Structure 1
Amino acid sequence: MTTDSPVIPATAQQAARWHTLRTARDRSVYHITWRLGCAGRIDFDALAAAWQSVTDRHDALRSRFEERYGELTMIIEPSVEVTALLIEPDLPEAGTAAEKFARAAADLHLREFRLDEGPMGRLALVRIGDREELVLTVHHIAVDGWGMSILFEDLSAAYASLVRGEKPVFARDAVTFRDYAAKLRAEEAKGKWRRTLDHWRTALEGVTLTTVAHDHELARPTAVGDPGATVRYRFTAAAHAGRTALAQELGATPFSVMLAAWQIVLARGGERESTIGVRSMNRTTRSELALVGLVSNACLVRATVDDGASLREVIGAARDATWNALAHQSVPFPAVHAALPEETRSRLTNTKLTLNYLGPIGQNLTLGDIRLTMLEAPNRAARADMVVSYWDGGDGILTETEYNTEAYEEETVLRMMRDMDEVLVAAAADLDRPVGDLRVRTRSAPAAR
């Protein structure tokens, strides 16, 4: 560490990740990897220079972490030399290139970050014959999904400048994570979190987490870092059209309608009361929207769905609950958890089910003028029983579900997605239909503690 390296207290989110990693079975659980197919030939020298320029630009990438006197600190180095990797496996026989690309992405994803040394990101170009893939990995202790999209936007701009023989030019000034962390500390010190903490103490009183019933009997509760995998599912055109119509008719966000569909599936699967985690972008200012760092947050949404309730009522309740949660999204969930009564905290060891809307993240990507395609993530560890992430696009709703492979078979995840699909179609056909008329194949259960 140089003498002018700023040392700041880590945020509550960062400290929670740090402590979870101490006992996680797989430390790659907080790696975010984008595997990107390339529709053109990349200039590797320009790519490497662009990667250095964005590392110079964003302080979160130059950070490292140390525990001092029981407190986690974030150290931001003024400069870090980084190197992009060029990986060129032997030219495979016909039919095996896809396997080699997948293997390379998985190996890069699993490669450990030294959090006490940094940096917090790495970039590789994998080249096999005339095909190429980019693999960008960051550590989730430093960068979230939205920050990843800003990082890639800057990488693309820098690359475009460099291939023209020009210095990198960016659309906006960089926003420092250091300033964002200072803002959080100031808000807490001034008591601005009090109202939100009071809200969550009331909202989560007596809460019980819900999960999809496990396929396999486990010797212990599932935990962050258990073995995991991802599977993709594309909703039918009828479900996509139905969700759009429902959102318009009820004045709801598409996210709220998706949340309601999951709540209905869980209710019909056996658990009338459900508690689902939702990921919030948690960026409400222009500077936060331009920030590369860990800003996103988690909230919990509770629902009780009776068989006699209409689909209209359930979706309307999910709409209102979502807006209520987002009104209290700004306080980091680890700080909320610490402020809860002991009885409530004991019920919330780890969120088991999470819904995450990715919006434009990872969509319509380019590197300079080279079009890129987001491929399935190479995750091998699970953050929860299931994390359902989805994008909206011109061709419908695409989901990628990360799930615990010790608890579930892939077919269970796909069955749940098909149930949600059918709920959306049924709701669009008749909003006044009672929930009890629906049939699902998913089974739900209280989460083990």
Structure 2
Amino acid sequence: MTTSSLAIPATAQQAARWHTLRTTRDRSVYHITWRLGCAGHVDFDALAAAWQTVTDRHECLRSRFEVRDGELTMITEPTVDAAALLIEPDVREAGEAADEFARVAAELHLREFRLDEGPMGRLALVRIGAQEEIVLIIHHIAVDGWGMNVLFDELSAAYASLARGEEPSFPHDAVSFHAYAEKLRAQEAKGTWRRTIDHWRTALDGVTLTTVAHDRELGRPTAVGDPGATVDYRFTERADAARAALAQELGATPFSVMLAAWQIVLARGGEQESTIGVRSMNRTTRNELALVGLISNACLVRATVGDGASFREVIGEARDATWNLLGHQGVPYPVVHASLPEETRARLTNVKLTLNYLGPIARDLSLGDIRLTMLEAPNRAARADMVVSYWDGEDGILTVTEYNTEAYDEETVLGMMRDLDEVLVAAAADPDRPVGDLRVRTRSAPAAR
């Protein structure tokens, strides 16, 4: 750990997020909140000390942001006070506890981060009688979902040591985000990104984003920070089995099969050419896998699905597009966007639909030996028209869809998920069947600018 403040230029992704926050309607849109139910009693003193320990380890948690000479700068302090909160609401009726837990989580989630002051995370233990919940909130300008998982694994290990009366220890030093940011700047300066930028300039030439047709006319384009909500959907057993069978038969990843299913739904809903976003983990080295910081990336996938195309053909093209995407995921999307012609940039201001595979993120969590259950997040702001995030759980495919409530009713989102379910089942039953034979509920449309 350094003994003085360290200032470096913010990364392109951090700068883009910061600029978006200047105009967004709800600044909590970039708060990542994990609300965790505890299956045992938490030692608050050990938890608070563990939280300070991981904050001391990771530069992003000790950072703040300010503009210097017109450039957004990330300033990391050698130490910050990461005091955890113990919140014990006065609840007299047992039946009121669930509502009070939800209210407190929402209040903590909405509390604004001062990006010019820091720190970039906060943690609270909420205790009502014998029930306890942990609420962990990190600003997305500093950490991505994968980094949250790394952070929580370390928090759990530190807590276990401290609860035993031992000093926390880790098998390796924390990976430096500053070193990662310097690596990005060096790659850009050397022209290493030129091939990928040229690829995206060609791939996105003349592109228009796709969305699910709105239920209501807003009179304006939807925007980051519009009111939002989330809805859960569990795929049927038939769809789970179908996706696995298609991936094996066609040599595709399960993600590519899911991507193809959405492309088919959008095509049958009216837009045969679709362009949607994909969240890329963007971690290709051992150091990057251990890094707590913002390095996940957004990429765009463009597809044309005619009525005569077979399920097999669409999945094969989605498979190839996924591999191609992975080969060009390393250049931050804001850099790609800035390199595009002005007319193309105008069409791609805000990605409207995004597919996000979360893998092991937020699964099988514990604090020491206390089992934790991920509860519904209190987020009420939308990052896009729809963001479909999914895990492969023990009981099948689990999804959470965040959607813009000014544009959509919940039933529209659930109808789209049922369409995806039915597409998977139909494709597995006959991969050579033309997609034009399928009928869907979803209506698609070009995204308004």
TM-score tier, shorter chain, comes to: over 0.9
Deviation digits for residues 208-233 of structure 1 (CA, Å, limit 9, x no counterpart): 10000001110210001111111111
**Partners of 1:391 and 1:148 in 2: CA distance:** 16
| 1:407 aligned onto 2:407 | yes
**Partners of 2:424 and 2:237 in 1: CA distance:** 11
Deviation digits for residues 149-190 of structure 1 (CA, Å, limit 9, x no counterpart): 000000000000000100012233210111100000000001
Alignment of 1:10-49 (within 5 A): 10-49=10-49
Aligned partner of residue 22 in structure 2, secondary structure:
helix
Which residue is 1:53 aligned to? Answer: 53
**Partners of 2:277 and 2:268 in 1: CA distance:** 19
Deviation digits for residues 373-423 of structure 1 (CA, Å, limit 9, x no counterpart): 111221111110000001111111110111101000111111100110111
Which residue is 1:258 aligned to? Answer: 258
| Offset, 1:3 | 8.4
Contact conserved, 1:51 with 1:84, CA < 8 A, in 2?
yes
Aligned residues: 448
Which residue is 2:344 aligned to? Answer: 344
Which residue is 1:311 aligned to? Answer: 311
**Partners of 2:262 and 2:333 in 1: CA distance:** 22
Contact conserved, 1:232 with 1:376, CA < 8 A, in 2?
no
Deviation digits for residues 3-61 of structure 1 (CA, Å, limit 9, x no counterpart): 82110000000000000000000001111001111111100000000000000000100
Contact conserved, 1:259 with 1:318, CA < 8 A, in 2?
yes
In structure 2, give the amino acid aligned to 1:297: N
| 1:282 aligned onto 2:256 | no
**Partners of 1:105 and 1:3 in 2: CA distance:** 35
Aligned partner of residue 283 in structure 1, secondary structure:
coil
Which residue is 1:185 aligned to? Answer: 185
In structure 1, give the amino acid aligned to 2:272: R
Aligned partner of residue 364 in structure 2, secondary structure:
coil
Unaligned stretches of 5+ residues in structure 1:
none
In structure 1, give the amino acid aligned to 2:7: V
Aligned partner of residue 96 in structure 1, secondary structure:
helix
Unaligned stretches of 5+ residues in structure 2:
none
Deviation digits for residues 312-350 of structure 1 (CA, Å, limit 9, x no counterpart): 000111110111111100000000000011111111010
Alignment of 1:385-404 (within 5 A): 385-404=385-404
Which residue is 1:107 aligned to? Answer: 107
In structure 2, give the amino acid aligned to 1:28: S
| Offset, 1:130 | 1.0
**Partners of 1:382 and 1:201 in 2: CA distance:** 28
Contact conserved, 2:3 with 2:78, CA < 8 A, in 1?
no
In structure 2, give the amino acid aligned to 1:421: D
In structure 2, give the amino acid aligned to 1:229: A
Contact conserved, 1:156 with 1:368, CA < 8 A, in 2?
yes
**Partners of 2:126 and 2:215 in 1: CA distance:** 37
In structure 2, give the amino acid aligned to 1:242: A
Which residue is 1:422 aligned to? Answer: 422
In structure 2, give the amino acid aligned to 1:291: L
Query: Kindly, what percent of the aligned residue pairs are identical?
Result: 83
| Offset, 1:92 | 4.3
**Partners of 2:367 and 2:61 in 1: CA distance:** 19
| 1:97 aligned onto 2:90 | no
Output the aligned Cα RMSD: 1.0
Aligned partner of residue 378 in structure 1, secondary structure:
coil
In structure 2, give the amino acid aligned to 1:213: A
Which residue is 2:327 aligned to? Answer: 327
| Offset, 1:95 | 2.7
Contact conserved, 1:260 with 1:315, CA < 8 A, in 2?
yes
